[in-house]
Structure 1
Amino acid sequence: MSESPPAKELPAGLLSDPAMITACRTRDFATIFRLVKIKAGIYPSMVARRCDLTPSRVGEVMSGRRKLVHIDVIERVADGLHIPGHMLGLARRAWESPARPQPTGQAAVSTAPDPDSERQPPSALPGAEVDGILALAAGASPSASTLQALRSSIEDYWRRDDEHGGEALRPAVVGQLRYVIELLKEGRPTALQNDLYAVAAELARLTGWTHFDARQYHQARTYFTEALRLAKPIDDHPFMANVLACMSLQATYQDKPGDALALVTAAQDQARAGQATTPRVLSMLAMREAFAQATLGNRAATHAAISQAHAYFGRIQPGDLDPAWVAYFDEPKLIADTGIAHGRLGETALAEPLIADALNREPHTNHRGRAFHTFWLARTQLQRGKIDQACHTATSALAPAASITSERVRGHLTEFYEQLAPHRQTPAAVVFEARLRETLPTAINEARHP
């Protein structure tokens, strides 16, 4: 993918123009694109490059034949055109924040990775002003029990993330990440240092995941990249494969299927480089490839990747030493993901029974997973013309969706609600909308009506 040109600042007069303010508030991108063309000289082809859109998509938006509704695309427009986040109902964008003053002279510290030292931990993370305090706390030498406590905390964070979402956990996770980073700055025996790298890498991945689930994609990519850098010195190839697979999944959500395929291919290369890679890990990676291929519309390649995922899963043995982070990829998850891959290809007759079967096997404690899969099932039923059944299925997902803080879950709900638009007056749809207003009253306001 070609690099976008540097963003051209919009004239202050345009950002204060009542027509621009109204267009941003209502997310009328046809008007926004027209105004930036007329008043800022940013033509549709330039809008496409800056916002990582295709020129045809920009043209369809300007002609009124298409709307931009997904939050990640809206964020790309805000960042590409430098429209302040509040104007589009977004959080403050990273480029709006003033640069942090950097010390000079002997006190200057570079935050760029040192190409000559793979083992150099990052000199700063977000909120680095507390590093001095944490350094004092890290004065005691960590023991085996310290490492076990950290690993137990990570396991607990992942469990709570599944049940409630990760946004509330993030401050604690980042605090532990900074703590371990401080420990890494001190010289320790190799075995202990390697264990600390592994813990730090997993904390960075978990932080990235919480940002991804909140659809804060730039921050997620930063932490995923940090996780890769922390895992590289200890040659943890399966873990690096997992991080790349997470980044591949994020790319599918960002409507970047080419990036998704490149990242999962790199993940599979990492897995093959590691002697400890297990069949369960390889099965998960093959399914992520199926997602990428399906998003690209490559039917034969998707089916081949699905077959490979099931073949690897069939090789799993009770004594396999799977990494803890892949334990979630059990048989119900394999079946659900198989259905979703077929659903992405539009093969709803294959997708529906698979996702329904997986839901019958899934634990009810995994609120986010159940909400995701239930909305996927509802979408496949709707696409098959089963309107009453689709509305009933989607209604059953409202309770788990309301119990978890996850913008990705809200995104799936919004997409279903928009796809229901042609049938909005049917009795089943009226009942679903009434329940939606009771359970998640803000979701309807977030949905963009056609």
Structure 2
Amino acid sequence: NQLIYQDSPTNLPNRLSLLEYFQQMLDKLSLLSVADQNWQQNGMIPIIYLGIDRLGRINDILGYEGGDSLLKAVAERSRKSLASEHIITHINGNQFAILLQPILDKQQIKTVIEKLQQQISDPFVLTNREVFITVSAGISLYPQDGRDIQHLLREAKQAMNQVKQQGGNDYSFYIPTSEHELSERIDLEVALRYALEREEFELYYQPQVSLKTGNIIGAEALIRWKHPQKGMISPIKFIPIAEETGLIEPIGEWVLSQACQHSKAWRSQGLGNLRVAVNLSGRQFQTPNLCQKLMEILLSTGCEPDYLELELTESLLIRDPELSIPQLQALKALGVTIAIDDFGTGYSSLNYLQKFPFDVLKIDQSFVRNLHTNKINAAITQSLISMAHLLNLKVIAEGVETQEELNILQGFQCDEIQGYLFSRPLNLEDFQTLVKSGSQLNISQPHPS
């Protein structure tokens, strides 16, 4: 009988036993609700769906036997982290489900997950080597999100997948999706699969300008999708779908190839030595053969690596430093420039900054906005620029929209800016026309050398 309800690889209860435990929790909530109206109105049973991030890469390093040992170690550490009244079960592969006792306050769930994530982040010692892992979690609640355990598991898993597609090592509550939104998303996913071969994507370029000279010195490449029926579709809508489905890899490769091709053409046309900046997604950055693909693109387009800048978000790099640092070093070895994008919105650790081999720090527009009226943003921005210069990094501020913001950034000795004050993102033809016109940013004060 025990074999039916227990998972042999991890010695945890299995999915079948979860059904029985869920029924026990329902009975408990029912008794509490009879005794107390507060429980009747606010009582809930949380289901947490937990997944180990990037287990495939760990299997590649340790082999499947090592992967199984890790799974057992994670199961054991998770079980010890949880109070005895909570139930953890092994669903399949690298995924677990945790059933918490009935609760009244969501904060209790956060406390449980954060403690679990903290303990799992400590190194595991397997085959005489340390292994660092992270986990992603999704949460659904009975009765708010459903009354059937299978339904609740699906929703918690959906929330976990959302976390994973954003890079993992976090948790999220399930957010219901209307049938209309779900149908629209499925249609969008199907269309996205054909968009590349039907040549529906286009690159726009937002100029980047030197605050020393006022000249355009480069541009950030931004993808746009011109759908034949729906018109322009925002990257905010389609990039998350591309990440989740894996389509981000061929799309990202296309963006790199096009941007390098255009950058090379600008020099051939005598438009100057313009640098092109390309955003790398989390999934792209974690691709093992990224450097090889990038080298092939540089060779096939004839683009010199000096004129390519790769932008990575701060939160992506901090999430897994042990993997990020060697990947960054390999990219740097190709001769490309590395920029940290959206800087200041994540963990901003000087210690990490010194470890990561990068060249450019991009200050997020949330700090740039209303610099002249927001003293806190001004103080943070000034500190970030000073710190970056001490580390011999170049600083670019994004989202600059007003003359007041520009004047303050000049006073702070920021190196470059981009934003609507100078130009919105432009299609290739309009960007080239702007460069040919010799358009400059009006520099009212001299920038110190």
Whether these two folds match at TM > 0.5 is no
TM-score, length-normalised on structure 1? 0.30
Which of the pair is proportionally richer in strand?
Answer: 2
Specify which structure has the bigger relative contact order, considering alpha-carbon pairs within 8 angstroms and separated by 6 or more residues. 2
